[in-house]
Structures are given as structure tokens and as C-alpha cells.
């Protein structure tokens, strides 16, 4: 399996239209894990619920005048050329910067039209930011609207968190179709790079059936086990690398970083 590094890709969307599948936890631990490995990383909170921003303490860390993703998109949509750095909170962890969400206004105030208008400019901004950041990790919103289109459309590759559950797998199917449509509209390939079964456990009978099905697909599939350390670390606003680095869940994320990213 060629890694994202080997492929020269660095703008990675963590996406699935189904909510509650572990997108934010995956984005946090992959972004923080890359930063811990010495890479320069920007993590983008693209979910209006702003859980990722809350986790990294965006409200407390923002200086007066710091923008956010909502303000950035509004400016791009208005035809301006905003400076990405004015919207970023520096060093939420060593080597890791954050573009916070900006709350519910991200979707409600901007509206679909503004998001569609901003898409090409936003993609250009992120592509230019690759000069500073080796990795840009986008935590996408659980929707199939213009916001998801803007985020996935700006990415070079997608990682899809899933649960062993029918609706979650249906979310993957819908996303794969969307990615294919976005790719042909943009005239460049957005790679569906890997699937991550989060909250994996052996007890459920359906798990083996999903494993059998997914192991035949021509795509890397990873599991991250269900672990009490995950909610506990979120409660304490600490990454798995900080709170439970030897837990199985941390080892599972470490393996994704090693094989899918840094390879």
C-alpha cells in the first residue's frame, strides 16, 4: 500500500456523512500523532458542532481578532483574498495549528450559495498552505451539503471512519459516490485512501461478516478498537498520545499513521 507521503498527498479529509462514527476523534489523534512525529500540521474544524475546536480549547486560546473557518469562508465567498494565518490558532500542540470552526454560523449564516461560491478559493488557500504545512487534516461535518463539498473538494485524499453498522457503511457508499462526482467536476482525482472501523469490538456477530466483505475490497482497511481511554481522554482534552499512549486504541492509530500516512 503506498502511503500518503509516498503519493505526495497532504490535504486529507476525514469524512463520512453519518454522524457519530468517530470522525473528530480520528482527526484529533491523527493530526496530533503526525505533529508528535515531528511533522508540521494544520487541523481544520469543518464541523459546525465545533467539537474539535472545543477539544483544543479554541475559545480560550484565540487572541482578539483571530478568525475562524466561518469568517475565512465568508471572506473567500465575498471575493476577498484573506490571509489564512489570521484565522489560525498557533501551537495548540507542538507543531500543530488549528483553524477553528466558528460555530453553527458556519452553515446557518453562510448559507449554501456562499459555500459553493467559496469552494474554489478555499481549495486554493489550502493548496498554498501546503508550503507551510506538510499535513492539513480536515474534520468534516456529518452532512452531504455544500460544506462537505467544500471540504472534501479541497482535499487530495479522504479517510473514512466507519462503524460496523449498516447506516455507517451506507454513509461510505454515499461518500464514495460524492468523491467520484467531485473528482470529475474538479478534473483531478480525490483519492479514497483508507477506511477506518472505529469502536471495533469482537463480540458482535455482524463484525465477522463486515470483515469478510471489507477484506476483499481493493482499499486499505484499519480497525481502531472500542476503548474506554477514548472518551476519557476527550473529557480531559488530551489526545490518546498524551493520556494513554500504550492503549490498544493509540497503537491502532499509530499503525494508521505508520502505514497509511508516513509509510
Partner 1 sequence: MARKSAKIDKRGELAANLSSALPSDGESSYELSTAFIPALTRRYIGIWAVVEHLMEGEPWIDRFSAEKLRGAELREPLYRATYDFNEKVCIKRVSVEGRLALAEGEVSYEYKTTVALDWEPGPAGRLCVRPEIGYQFSSLDGQIAAVRELERAGKASIVQSRFEGGDLVLEEGGDYKRLRKVD
Residues in the chain, total: 263
User: Is there binding between residue 177 and partner 1 (CB under 8 A)?
Assistant: yes
The sheet that has 89-93: what strands, in order across it? 89-93, 96-99, 41-45, 135-139, 11-14, 157-162, 191-200
| Binding flag, residue 203, partner 1 (CB under 8 A) | no
Q: From 4-12, 91-99, 149-157, 162-170, give the range in contact with partner 1 by CB under 8 A.
A: 162-170
- Interface with partner 1 in residues 98-157 (CB under 8 A): none
Pick from 89, 129, 192, 244 the residue near partner 1 by CB under 8 A: 192
Q: Which is nearer to partner 1, 64 or 216 (CB)?
A: 216
**CB of 11 vs partner 1, minimal distance in Å:** 18
Nearest CA among 25, 26, 43, 159 for reference residue 95? 43
Q: Which of residues 209-238 bind partner 1 (CB under 8 A)?
A: 209-225, 227
Q: Out of 206, 228, 237, 263, name the contact with partner 1 by CB under 8 A.
A: 206
Min CB(196)–partner 1 separation in Å: 10
168: exposed, middle or buried (Cβ count in 10 Å: 0-12, 13-18, 19+): buried
Query: Distance (Å, rounded) from C-alpha 29 to C-alpha 238?
Result: 10
Minimum distance, C-beta of residue 261 to partner 1, in the bound complex (Å):
14
Residue 200's DSSP bridge partners are 225
Phi, psi of 83, deg, nearest 5: -90, 120
104 phi/psi in degrees, rounded to 5 = -65, -25
Which of helix, strand or coil describes residue 208? helix
Q: Does 191 bind partner 1 (CB under 8 A)?
A: yes
User: Where does this chain touch partner 1 (CB under 8 A) — which range of 3-11, 49-57, 107-115, 244-252?
Assistant: 244-252
Query: Any idea what DSSP says for residue 9?
Result: -
Q: Is 186 in the site for partner 1 (CB under 8 A)?
A: no
79, burial (CB in 10 Å: exposed 0-12, middle 13-18, buried 19+):
exposed
| Count of chain residues binding partner 1 (CB under 8 A) | 39
Residue among 44, 192, 31, 18 at smallest CA distance from 122: 44
Q: Which is nearer to partner 1, 40 or 226 (CB)?
A: 226
Rounded to the nearest whole angstrom, what is the least distance from the CB of residue 190 to partner 1 in the complex?
Answer: 11
Q: Is 208 in the site for partner 1 (CB under 8 A)?
A: yes
Residues near partner 1 (CB under 8 A) are 1, 166, 169-170, 172-173, 176-177, 180, 191-192, 200, 202, 206, 208-225, 227, 248-249, 251-252, 255, 259
Amino acid at each position: 500500500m503506498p502511503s500518503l507521503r509516498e503519493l505526495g498527498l497532504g490535504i486529507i479529509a476525514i469524512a463520512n456523512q453519518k454522524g457519530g462514527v468517530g470522525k473528530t476523534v480520528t482527526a484529533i489523534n491523527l493530526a496530533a500523532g503526525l505533529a508528535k512525529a515531528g511533522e508540521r500540521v494544520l487541523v481544520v474544524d469543518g464541523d459546525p458542532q465545533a467539537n474539535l475546536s472545543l477539544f483544543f480549547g479554541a475559545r480560550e486560546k484565540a487572541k482578539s481578532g483571530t478568525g475562524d473557518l466561518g469568517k475565512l469562508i465568508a471572506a473567500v465567498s465575498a471575493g476577498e483574498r484573506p490571509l489564512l494565518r489570521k484565522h489560525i490558532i498557533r501551537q495548540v500542540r507542538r507543531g500543530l495549528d488549528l483553524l477553528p470552526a466558528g460555530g453553527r454560523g458556519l452553515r446557518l449564516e453562510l448559507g449554501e450559495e456562499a459555500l459553493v461560491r467559496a469552494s474554489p478559493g478555499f481549495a486554493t488557500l489550502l493548496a498554498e498552505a501546503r508550503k507551510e504545512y506538510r499535513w492539513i487534516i480536515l474534520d468534516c461535518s456529518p452532512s452531504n451539503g455544500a460544506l462537505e463539498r467544500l471540504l472534501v473538494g479541497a482535499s487530495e485524499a479522504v479517510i473514512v471512519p466507519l462503524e460496523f453498522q449498516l447506516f455507517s457503511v451506507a454513509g461510505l457508499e454515499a461518500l464514495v459516490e460524492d468523491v467520484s462526482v467531485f473528482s470529475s467536476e474538479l478534473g483531478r482525482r480525490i483519492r479514497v485512501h483508507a477506511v477506518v472501523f472505529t469502536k471495533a469490538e469482537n463480540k458482535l456477530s455482524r463484525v465477522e461478516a463486515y470483515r469478510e466483505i471489507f477484506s476483499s475490497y481493493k482499499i486499505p482497511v484499519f480497525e481502531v478498537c472500542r476503548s474506554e481511554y477514548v472518551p476519557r481522554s476527550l473529557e480531559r482534552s488530551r489526545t490518546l498520545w498524551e493520556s494513554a499512549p500504550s492503549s490498544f486504541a493509540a497503537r491502532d492509530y499509530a499503525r494508521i499513521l505508520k502505514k497509511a500516512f508516513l509509510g
